[in-house]
Amino acid sequence: MNPELLARKTIRDLTPYQSARRLGGSGDIWLNANESPFVNEFKIQCDRLNRYSTCQPEALIQAYADYARVDKSQVLTSRGADEGIELLVRTFCEPKQDSILYCPPTYGMYSISAETFDVGVKQVPLTADWQLDLPSIAENLDGVKLVFVCSPNNPTGNLIRREDIISLLNMTQDKALVVMDEAYIDFCPEASTVDLLAQFPNLVILRTLSKAFALAGLRCGFTLANAVVIDLLLKVIAPYPVPVPVADIAVQALSPAGLARTKFQVLDLSANRAYLQAGLSMLPGVTVYDGYGNYLLVRFPDGDALFKALWDNGIILRRSPIENCIRISIGSRDECEKTLAFIRTQLEKIS
């Protein structure tokens, strides 16, 4: 018997999320996964590896609560923010009955997590300037339990207007949770919605150490919400979601020394982003959209041809679902310089 026939039809028909690693590639410059170019050192202790980890390590929860300026009862840690998305779907959505709503172009895992559990998916595209279409969202809230909003948005890089987020929170009170994906908020902390947690019990915020903290390989994320939501998620989460070494390293990253290092590295990446944005903006036919994370969305005269040329020459960037657009992660200054030089040369060839 073919084991595939035993799988749920939803899973057999599902197209998995095409992560940077799944897409592959080979080269010397990897600017496709919004990873940090910095390699930081940490101490790893091995004297507790024979014991299971604590479900929610006290030191880690307190460290992130202090960093985010919330109470520790409002924090849950998980295997990346991706697990946070999945936990929210499993906790709040009845399969084949409820739906999530999200606003493309944006992060693709919202829909895949919902589809995996037979939860419906409603799409309300962003407006032409990549902001929330509030009237259309209002018309599509029937049966919706979770509304996902990413800010800074991936892949566009822009911030969602704060007044629109507040309008959405008011619109969905007693109807749905608004899940703000703040994976890139450490690059623009002033734009966080964390201060709204006290006012809106239906607000949930997703965070991660993968981007600004240069710990993509650690797989450590956080969900911030009021204590009632956190307690519900704790009923669903796996018994030992955070390995002992992960908790130890994350606590070091969130220490005063770790936070100071991250702040310095964020400033460095912001300078590199400004350098790349300025250089690309000078090229004919190229549009660089303002970005507030560690990446830029760039429109080229022929994005597909340029992407292939870069790929074939070992510069691995990220295709965008937006026509002729490529998303470029911000790497080291050397990586940014080489990428800019190659793009300039390619465009000169076709001009």
Calpha distance 318→100 (Å, rounded) = 26
The residue with tokens 């998305």 is 85
Tell me the H-state helices in 9-147. 9-12, 20-23, 58-68, 80-92, 109-116, 134-139
Give me the residues paired with residue 329 across strands: 295
pLDDT digit string (tens) for the chain, length 351 residues: 677 666 677 777 767 655 554 555 667 899 999 999 999 999 998 898 999 999 999 999 999 999 999 999 999 999 999 999 999 999 999 999 999 999 999 999 999 999 999 999 999 999 999 999 999 999 999 999 999 999 999 999 999 999 999 999 999 999 999 999 999 999 999 999 999 999 999 999 999 999 999 999 999 999 999 999 999 999 999 999 999 999 999 999 999 999 999 999 999 999 999 999 999 999 999 999 999 999 999 999 999 999 999 999 999 999 999 999 999 999 999 999 999 999 999 998 876
Q: Output the six-digit token pair for 235.
A: 């009923």
Cis bond before residue 105 (omega within 30° of 0) = yes
pLDDT of the residue at 300: 97
Cis bond before residue 155 (omega within 30° of 0) = yes
The alpha carbon dihedral of 267, 273, 274, 275 has a sign of positive
The alpha carbon dihedral of 115, 116, 118, 119 has a sign of negative
Q: How deeply is 243 buried, as exposed, middle or buried, from its count of CB atoms within 10 A (0-12, 13-18, 19+)?
A: middle
Q: Using a CB cutoff of 8 Å and minimum separation of 24, what contacts does 277-280 make?
A: 279/340, 279/344, 280/340, 280/343
Length of the chain equals 351
pLDDT of the residue at 16: 67
Alpha carbon separation from 233 to 68, 211, 345 (Å, rounded): 19, 24, 51
pLDDT of the residue at 220: 98
Give me the residues paired with residue 326 across strands: 298, 319
Q: Would you say 36 and 335 are in contact if contact means Cβ atoms under 8 Å apart?
A: no
pLDDT of the residue at 27: 76
Q: Would you say 126 and 106 are in contact if contact means Cβ atoms under 8 Å apart?
A: yes
Calpha distance 169→190 (Å, rounded) = 19
DSSP letters spanning 278-318: HHHHTSTT-EE---SSSEEEEE-TTHHHHHHHHHHTTEE-E
Q: Would you say 147 and 176 are in contact if contact means Cβ atoms under 8 Å apart?
A: yes
Q: Would you say 31 and 289 are in contact if contact means Cβ atoms under 8 Å apart?
A: no
pLDDT of the residue at 11: 72
